[in-house]
Structure 1
């Protein structure tokens, strides 16, 4: 009766002399620790995601790797292979290493905006077949080469705005991106754009061109006409001519027909004179050639006729002289033969 309830253990006599020992009751602190451990184990990301999470990045159980605004100068290492969204914006990264990036074959979202990227090659995105969103805005890109985005068969949205040095995009840069719906190349340094591959994209529905110093001449005639015809595809903005000075400030859609007329003008006075002179020369040359050929044919015909007459005359002469000789020779031979035969002697 005098035992305390807080004693570490209790011993009771049981039938048969068996002693039963009970463990002490768990304290409140132990229970709190146990519940905390179970809670952490339940909500913590899986080891597959946390084991490879780069430094200064956050990886969650939604396969999103967030490395934005961490003042990174190199592409993050040890990225989880199952990453589906990678955000490395607002850093100072100068290169996208193809070897590391192409391990992320399940990547569908890539934000590289506001970095120091200067070059994108064909091998950069060589294995990103599932990538649907790509943002390369606010970088220092200089040009886009042939088939740069060719491997991105699932690419739907591509943003390449605000690259002050971007002045050239290869005509075939988007040739294989048949799923591309939104393309934004606003506020770059583009003066012309070959639209042959863009026209062939069946899903394209939005194209941003504003803020570029467009040169409105015969090289951009097709672009201006396309903007006018397919106006619903182009985003609002200052898509105006920068050069030549007489067209500066005018919208591309408004100068399309003017360029059409200027770049395909009709024949002038001197053009007609040139064609007349060329026709006269060709006619004269043909006439002289025909006259010379006619004279040559007449001379050749006369020559062949005279040659034929000479041959016939020679044949007649040979027949007349050859016949008398044969007769005389035959008679002489006959007489000589008769005289020489022994049976004719008496």
Structure 2
């Protein structure tokens, strides 16, 4: 399965501009405190990367716009804590020990534009997992070696999604209805999966060939 081209530099700049202009004014709520082993700044960024955390950071400032918890050993994203961050637009959870996510995990993150779940231990993506993320533009979900199933309706409500990368997982098939539901899609990563040779995969290959022009430039 070939990897469709990455978005152009101009497209990426536009995506990240969208992410960062969704409100960056300092807020008194951010100065209320900062989790242990994290760094918080006046641009509403909370940086907790590489701190050997095993739990999701507690007492996050409610005004947080960007949360970076990559390169830790966090095993769960607690919905109750995460969904207090209703202004969050950027969430990097890559390289952790996440085993499960669900619709409730992201239930109140309607401004989230960037989500990275790469290098975790996810096994499946259920119906409407990303449904609440109405503003999601970029989703990276690569290098989850046990990820073998993505429900056909996992992205059915993510009409703003432009970049989707599910490379290097354990996917053997992907229902094309998962992709047809994404009218804004511009970049799709599929490489490095053990695709099964059957009718479903044949349909996916045909869809990629027919629709591939949309992903150019």
Normalising by the residue count of structure 1, what TM-score does the alignment of the two structures yield? 0.54
> Is the CA contact (8 Å cut-off) linking 2:5 and 2:188 kept in structure 1?
no
**CA drift at 1:198:** 1.2
CA distance in 2, matches of 1:174, 1:183: 10
**CA drift at 1:221:** 1.8
> Is the CA contact (8 Å cut-off) linking 2:74 and 2:98 kept in structure 1?
yes
Q: 2:133 corresponds to which residue? A: 152
CA distance in 1, matches of 2:4, 2:170: 79
Task: Report the CA distance shift for 1:229/1:99 in structure 2 as closer, same or farther (over 3 A).
Answer: same
**CA drift at 1:40:** 28
Q: Deviations over 1:83-119 (max 9, x none)?
A: 0000000000000000000000000000000000000
CA distance in 2, matches of 1:26, 1:134: 16
**CA drift at 1:47:** 5.7
Q: Match for 1:191 among 165, 172, 177? A: 172
Task: Report the CA distance shift for 1:49/1:217 in structure 2 as closer, same or farther (over 3 A).
Answer: same
**CA drift at 1:229:** 1.4
Task: Report the CA distance shift for 1:193/1:58 in structure 2 as closer, same or farther (over 3 A).
Answer: same
Structure 2: unaligned runs, 5 residues or longer: none
Q: Deviations over 1:22-73 (max 9, x none)?
A: 9999999999999999999999987632332100000000000000000000
**CA drift at 1:231:** 2.6
**CA drift at 1:199:** 1.2
CA distance in 2, matches of 1:40, 1:175: 26
Q: Match for 2:50 among 39, 44, 69? A: 69
Task: Report the CA distance shift for 1:55/1:212 in structure 2 as closer, same or farther (over 3 A).
Answer: same
Q: Deviations over 1:280-319 (max 9, x none)?
A: xxxxxxxxxxxxxxxxxxxxxxxxxxxxxxxxxxxxxxxx
SS of 2:34's equivalent in the other structure is coil
Task: Report the CA distance shift for 1:172/1:49 in structure 2 as closer, same or farther (over 3 A).
Answer: same
> Is the CA contact (8 Å cut-off) linking 2:46 and 2:67 kept in structure 1?
yes
In terms of Rg, which structure is larger?
1
CA distance in 1, matches of 2:12, 2:146: 63
CA distance in 2, matches of 1:205, 1:24: 9
Task: Report the CA distance shift for 1:81/1:42 in structure 2 as closer, same or farther (over 3 A).
Answer: closer
Task: Report the CA distance shift for 1:170/1:38 in structure 2 as closer, same or farther (over 3 A).
Answer: closer
Task: Report the CA distance shift for 1:22/1:91 in structure 2 as closer, same or farther (over 3 A).
Answer: closer
> Is the CA contact (8 Å cut-off) linking 2:3 and 2:189 kept in structure 1?
no
> Is the CA contact (8 Å cut-off) linking 2:15 and 2:137 kept in structure 1?
no
Alignment of 1:16-165 (within 5 A): 48-165=29-146
Question: Which one has the bigger helix percentage?
Answer: 1
**CA drift at 1:202:** 1.2
**CA drift at 1:134:** 0.2
CA distance in 1, matches of 2:74, 2:38: 14
Task: Report the CA distance shift for 1:31/1:123 in structure 2 as closer, same or farther (over 3 A).
Answer: closer
Q: Which runs of 4+ in 1 moved over 3 A?
A: 20-48
Task: Report the CA distance shift for 1:152/1:22 in structure 2 as closer, same or farther (over 3 A).
Answer: closer
**CA drift at 1:219:** 2.4
**CA drift at 1:227:** 1.7
Structure 1: unaligned runs, 5 residues or longer: 1-19, 234-346
Task: Report the CA distance shift for 1:224/1:152 in structure 2 as closer, same or farther (over 3 A).
Answer: same
Task: Report the CA distance shift for 1:50/1:186 in structure 2 as closer, same or farther (over 3 A).
Answer: same
Task: Report the CA distance shift for 1:123/1:217 in structure 2 as closer, same or farther (over 3 A).
Answer: same
SS of 2:183's equivalent in the other structure is coil
Count of equivalent residues: 214
